[in-house]
Amino acid sequence: MKALVYTSPLESRVMDVDAAVARAGESVVDLAFCGICGSDMHAWHGHDDRRVPPLVLGHEAVGTVATGEMQGQRVAINPLMTCGQCPACVSGATHLCPEREMIGMKRPGGFAEQVAIRTSNLFAIPDHLKFEDAALAEPLACCVHAIRLLTADYTRAHDRRMVVLGGGAIGLLSAMVAVAAGYTDVWIAETNPMRREMLESCVNAKSYDPLETSPDDKPIHYVLDAVGTGITRKSSTALIAPGGFIVHIGLQDNEPGLDTRYLTLQEVTFMGTYCYTDADFAEALSLLAEGTISGEGFTEIRPLDDGASGFLDIHHGKAPPKIILDTTT
């Protein structure tokens, strides 16, 4: 079958690879679309020793089940595979399973015509939900989980203000979840002028260039860092009000920047977040199916054959927040 293969740092190309083969309890899915994630970029840059080339990356995938008990069903793939038996899994906190892994990490991912994964990882999607929007379910689930962490009960966030650092897909989708949850004063810091032009047309939030300006002087009690660099961790500390909450979802580097003395003296809560639970994934699909959130205005569909150029355009800052590859072309 055809697949986009990460061959070495900063390089990928379309190749013929072995067809997907289902193991016990798994299904093969004929893929329709798969989004390029920031973690795919991190691997492509050669910064993730868990993803060793040659490897088919990609985990934000949707398609139609080709084999297995759900054959013929349109599905979104939860790419997070866990043991199902440890205390974290039993309690529902599957994202904390010590055995967790994803497709596109040690086993082939979604930048291909097919993928094999456990049938229990497949979520049926309604017929009216376009595959292109359903392909946002995985990154949106990350954002649902992050906003839940940020505000404990994210359905009672009325009249609260938030600053999101980074206007990529995770930052934008997090802002969308926050607005849907009742935040009425959301700011998005983004240095890329092309992306800034898109942001305010996609979500009821204010965008700004953090290199030139900052939000108004009102206290900021919620900051979500969707970039994850030493610079943005320093910015988080500078922005957050005493008693505030910072959620760190970006993973770009591990450089210093967070002012732990300030966090201690001002009782600021700092939380990391990774992935999501099954409940978060289901909530993400519901937001998409209801039309509360969609990819309109910030996604771009490209054929799989153009996947290599998609990685390059993201690398050079010439891409919208989300590129989704059509794995059938």
Per DSSP, 112 falls in state: B
Three-state SS for 10? coil
Q: Which of 310, 329, 328, 324 is nearest to 133 (CA)?
A: 324
From first CA to last CA, the distance across the chain in angstroms is 12
Please name each of the domains of the chain with its CATH number: 2-136+294-326 (3.90.180.10), 143-272 (3.40.50.720)
CA gap 149, 224 in Å, rounded: 10
* Neighbour tally for 69: CB within 10 Å: 10
Structure confidence at residue 217 (pLDDT) = 86
Question: Are residues 208 and 187 in contact, defined by beta-carbon separation less than 8 angstroms?
Answer: yes
Strands 220-225 and 322-326: unpaired
- β-strands 161-165, 185-189 pairing: parallel
d(C-alpha 276, C-alpha 95), whole Å: 6
Residues 157 and 217: their CA atoms lie apart, in Å, by: 20
Q: Is 201 helix (H, G, I), strand (E, B) or coil?
A: helix
Q: Which two tokens stand for residue 293?
A: 């959130």
User: How many CB atoms are located within 10 Å of the residue 238 CB?
Assistant: 13
The structure tokens listed for 86 are 């440890």
Tens digit of each residue's pLDDT, the chain (329 residues): 999 999 999 999 999 999 999 999 999 999 999 999 999 999 999 999 999 999 999 999 999 999 989 999 999 999 999 999 999 999 999 999 999 999 999 999 999 999 999 999 999 999 999 999 999 999 999 999 999 998 865 555 555 889 999 999 999 999 999 999 989 899 999 999 988 989 989 999 999 999 999 998 889 999 999 999 999 999 999 999 999 999 999 988 999 999 999 999 999 999 999 999 999 999 999 999 999 999 999 999 999 999 999 999 999 999 999 999 999 98
Contact (Cβ atoms closer than 8 angstroms) between residue 159 and residue 143? no
Which 8-state DSSP code applies to residue 19?
Answer: P
3-state secondary structure of 195: helix
Collapsing DSSP to helix, strand or coil, 137 comes out as helix
Global pTM reads 0.95
Q: How far apart are CA 200 and CA 207, in angstroms?
A: 7
- Residue 174 contacts residue 146 (beta carbons within 8 Å): yes
Q: What is the DSSP string of 261-278?
A: HHHHHTT-EEEE--S--H
pLDDT score of 154 = 52
The CA distance from 299 to 131, in Å, is 13
Instruction: Judge whether 233 and 225 are in contact, CB under 8 Å.
Output: yes
Count the Cβ atoms, other than its own, within 10 Å of residue 290. Answer: 11
Q: Which residues pair with 271 in a beta bridge?
A: 247
Q: Are 266 and 259 in contact (CB under 8 A)?
A: no
Question: Which residue in the block uniquely carries the two structure tokens 């919208």?
Answer: 320
pLDDT at 159: 54
